[in-house]
Structure 1
């Protein structure tokens, strides 16, 4: 496995300055934002697709520092009921896939998206209860009419370009648990897999190690994010896991994102890394910084330090004791 970083945390730096910064920290891989919510500050997909010279220089800047690109990421909602929003997200994904093929990057990360309640809807609708029955009927309609058809077609496009789709299991989107990911994968094909982020498992009450085993035995982990979550018991008892307080209202929230090691101890992260090795995941662990109590530099630096203690990087040798 290689330790990497999701570069959008350094959007205030120029591309080569940011590469120098992360290389000096000891990471070996970069995940680069190509649109959607991460933005594309470090990677203008239109320019790189149109100009082979710029594409070559972009790749050389990464290679020359001993880094690889683990994934391109364009997290957005391609199933948004407002057609203009959905088209922008879809186009961003398609361009990211085309660029990934040119760069020989194996994964493009995004969200599954979430439709509305009808073709006339204006906003996404995320059902989280099976009763009243309206919610269950809505969920069936979303999956049968929107989610499965879209990702079956779009997944085939990615597969034709030798790219896998890494869907981040994230609340507010239709694919947000191991079960929903496997449901879509069964319908749309093995090109669909998870960009698994433990932080989103913890706040939903899912054990990340169990999630790794569930998805891993199906070969369904395409990429991995490293971010932590801290639960505030009193606020959780007040507001539950679907707490709608802003992330900025940290004293009132039931849970909040933290840098690695500040929600769960290093032993827990050792168990996570070991579970990844156990199921055969031998790719990148990409640090994502969304800690409201630490600067980017401090949060990222501490995440690197904590993960370097538990990363399993060397090839597995022969079991001489067997």
Structure 2
């Protein structure tokens, strides 16, 4: 197992700057954000130009990672592959293929995305649509020796009523998507707030957990008494504000990282545990964000065998 970090938390930094900082801070790998450009969400970062990626870009990227002694664990392009707007859906499909092509050029084994959801249709219709959409993408990736990995994020902010916007949030849905040839970028924070013990999900699915994200979550039981499990109705213009929980960097929330890492080791996980920093307390400018990443490193580094 190696300790990495997702670059999306530093959208204004260059990949070279991130790599230099990460290596100095003791991280071993980068999960590189490859959105086509910064967008409506803070974590949409463009750290590699995968849509225009040729031999020169590949050589420069490999030299950069070699210079800093870092591995490139995965690409991150977490978008809605079932978007209701057909034009937007095709844009996402095209860029995902660009990411897969660039991954092949660099020998990156995984490209991360979301199943997503058409929020205008019921779940059953979405599952049927995914069964039409994903086999072609999985085949495209497989021909290039790349696996598509899906994070089990609920993405409730994508749905107008705050319901799940990414149909990959529970083990029931994992089993369905594994049949489509997809793999899991496992994140315990999302499981925790929806009432699933993340530790208990490792053993049954470890053969499909090929990459993992380290993000924590802080729960406020008193606030949940007011809003209920489904969160605020009046979100004040922020669709991601549930009112009774928030993401934290590892060590500052409810996830038991000693148990998580121990169970991953017990069941043979040998991939990258990649810190995904979305902590509002340690957000803001680069200095504040890197302080949060340092907290995460201090929490996790003693648990990972060197």
Q: For 1:44-193, list aligned pairs within 5 A.
A: 44-48=49-53, 51-117=54-120, 125=121, 138-144=122-128, 146-171=129-154, 172-186=165-179, 188-189=180-181, 192-193=182-183
Whether the 8 Å contact between 1:250 and 1:256 is mirrored in structure 2 is no
221, 237, 240: which one aligns with 1:233: 221
- 1:283: which partner in 2? 271
Superposed structure 1 runs of 4+ greater than 4 Å apart: 246-252
TM-score, normalization by structure 2: 0.87
Counterpart contact for 1:241–1:255, Cα < 8 Å: no
**Equivalence map 1:1-12=2 (5 Å):** 1-12=1-12
TM-score by length of 1: 0.83
Preserved contact between residue 150 and residue 184 of structure 2 (Cα < 8 Å): yes
Indicate yes or no: 2:249 matched with 1:259: yes
Aligned partners of 1:254 and 1:183: how far apart in 2?
A: 30
Partner of 1:196: 186
Encode CA deviations 1:37-79: one digit per residue, 9 max, x unaligned: 643421011232xx31222011110112110100001000111
SS of residue paired to 1:69: strand
Distance 1:301 1:248, change over 3 A: farther
Confirm or deny: 8 A CA contact 2:249 2:296 kept in the other structure: yes
Deviations 1:77-125 (A, max 9, x none): 11111011111111111111111111101100111111244xxxxxxx5
Which runs of 5 or more structure 1 residues have no equivalent in the other structure?
A: 118-124, 126-137, 314-322
Q: Where do 5+ consecutive residues of structure 2 fail to align?
A: 155-164, 283-287
Task: Say which SS state the counterpart of residue 75 (structure 1) adopts.
Answer: strand
Contact 2:51 2:95 in 1 (8 A): no
**1:308 maps to which of 298, 301, 304:** 301
Change (3 A) 1:139 1:13: closer
Mark the CA change 1:158 to 1:179 in structure 2 (over 3 Å): closer, same or farther: same
Counterpart-to-counterpart distance in 2, 1:163 and 1:240: 41
Per-residue displacement from partner, 1:213-238 (whole Å, max 9, x unpaired)? 2211xx11121000000100011122
Let me know the Cα RMSD of the aligned residues.
2.0
Displacement, 1:3? 0.4
Q: CA offset at residue 15 of structure 1?
A: 2.0
Are the aligned partners of 1:247 and 1:256 in contact in 2 as well (CA < 8 Å)? no
Deviations 1:128-181 (A, max 9, x none): xxxxxxxxxx3222212x011211221111111111111011112111112201
Q: Could you tell me how far apart the structure 2 residues matched to 1:199 and 1:221 are?
A: 15
In 1, distance between residues paired with 2:111 and 2:3? 18
Once residues 210 and 110 of structure 1 are traced to their aligned partners in structure 2, the CA distance between those partners, rounded to angstroms, is 24
1:23 aligns with 2:23: yes
Instruction: Provide the rounded CA distance (Å) in 1 between the counterparts of 2:35 and 2:80.
Output: 11
